[in-house]
Structure 1
């Protein structure tokens, strides 16, 4: 009986081995081309879709005054908002503003959450590696802000051993990371939180762009001051995906037209009291 069981087991195993060998032999040899990348469909250019749908979706930080922020009625207002609305009207489309977390705004653009980023965004080599920018529509500098009565901090060298704040994911954070000897660098979702902490003494200084800083100075006159040290000069542009070349061309053309016909000047004087295009490089 045991012998019969052993014989049966040997037969079953031999049969399975034979089946596997036959199956393996019947499979076609792998195609050498399978390992090669397949042709991908042509990248979409969003401008055709925007024209068809009649809607231009734009990502922004909606707490970044004076570029885009909420007023007392929770309405979205600002320099970028007025300029964007004017541009959309010229193109014959509706603009839809979509608030986004700034630290992930580039990733959201690349995954198609919106068509562009228009939010006082500084043009940097790191960002240019991931997205394309329009020609600059406004320029700014990263500066150091302290309380008006602070006479201990006169320049960036005096920030050693100090607590400094800036916005998370901003070029202000990049500038802060180059400062030596900071006691601590605190990052915030919005600049107003950093300035509030500066005002209450939780921070010794805040690094932000001078355009934003001067706007807040108007809201709280006599509270803050800007030091003479400029950490970096950074023109700002509208960001689009790398493949959206036609959209980029259209935006560049309209920005140039708005500067030439005075539309830009009218919007700029509303928010800054002067025509900011005069500070752009030719």
Structure 2
């Protein structure tokens, strides 16, 4: 969603979306990297105007901030090799060897799968993808955005077969900033309608996984 490239520039899906939205609003976007543990407190204290950083929409957070509609639905997904037609749902994973990253939300999701032959845990998802390609794994459980970004670098080698739990991301606003919410939400709605969000999504994830909808979480 956002990271620093080899030249230390902030890049990513959120970065591209926000810059385009700022251009349409006629404002310059300034990024303020912030400790995630205190990010809502920093917003409400006026350190910055919005949180646009892959923030999951939850009922608990919505007590402290207002959220835009979800602009992307994050989830944990199951990835297999491109030619695999035997794994299409959770039942098909019974008796299979599945990989994931140690300590990740993917590991948490994978532990809930029933009947696996083995759950292999890797220090990095890149190692799991290498074993999947080599045939040492039948599937991987991975954060969707990580998986799709990785697959843009390894085109035609892997595919997402199904999602586990959805996790919608939204832009967080201070509750009193109604005019900003209205203006930015309108720009985002326009970007969804005119295909801009789809174009940026395809750039980072290989396909259009953008959305603009009120999530079930609220």
1:98 to 29, 32, 45: 32
1:107 to 6, 16, 38: 38
Q: 1:74 to 1:86 in 2, by over 3 A?
A: same
Matched, 1:164 2:100: yes
| Structure that is richer in helix per residue | 1
Report the counterpart of residue 198 of structure 1 in structure 2.
128
Q: 1:93 to 1:174 in 2, by over 3 A?
A: farther
- Higher relative CO (Cα under 8 Å, sequence separation at least 6) belongs to 2
Report the counterpart of residue 86 of structure 1 in structure 2.
20
2:184 to 243, 251, 260: 251
2:77 to 143, 157, 161: 143
Q: Tell me, what secondary structure is at the counterpart of 1:234?
A: strand
Q: Tell me, what secondary structure is at the counterpart of 2:8?
A: coil
How many residues matched? 203
Give the alignment's Cα RMSD to 1 decimal. Answer: 4.2
Report the CA distance between 1:82 and its aligned residue: 1.6
Matched, 1:240 2:176: no
Query: What does 1:1-282 align with in structure 2 at a 5 Å threshold?
Result: 67-100=1-34, 105=36, 107-112=38-43, 113-145=47-79, 156=90, 158=93, 164-165=100-101, 172=106, 175=109, 178-179=112-113, 194-199=124-129, 205-209=140-144, 211-221=145-155, 223-228=157-162, 230-261=163-194, 263-268=196-201, 270-271=203-204, 280-281=212-213
What are the Cα deviations for residues 176-227 of structure 1, in whole angstroms up to 9, with x where unaligned?
Answer: 575568988979xxxxx63123135599733312x44222112123554434
* Higher Cα radius of gyration: 1
The 2-side partners of 1:231 and 1:174 are apart by 11
The 1-side partners of 2:59 and 2:120 are apart by 23
Runs of 5+ in structure 2 lacking a partner? none
TM-score with structure 1 setting the length: 0.53
Report the CA distance between 1:165 and its aligned residue: 2.3
Report the CA distance between 1:81 and its aligned residue: 1.2
Report the CA distance between 1:110 and its aligned residue: 2.0
TM-score with structure 2 setting the length: 0.64
Q: 1:150 to 1:252 in 2, by over 3 A?
A: same
Q: 1:178 to 1:97 in 2, by over 3 A?
A: farther
Report the CA distance between 1:147 and its aligned residue: 6.1
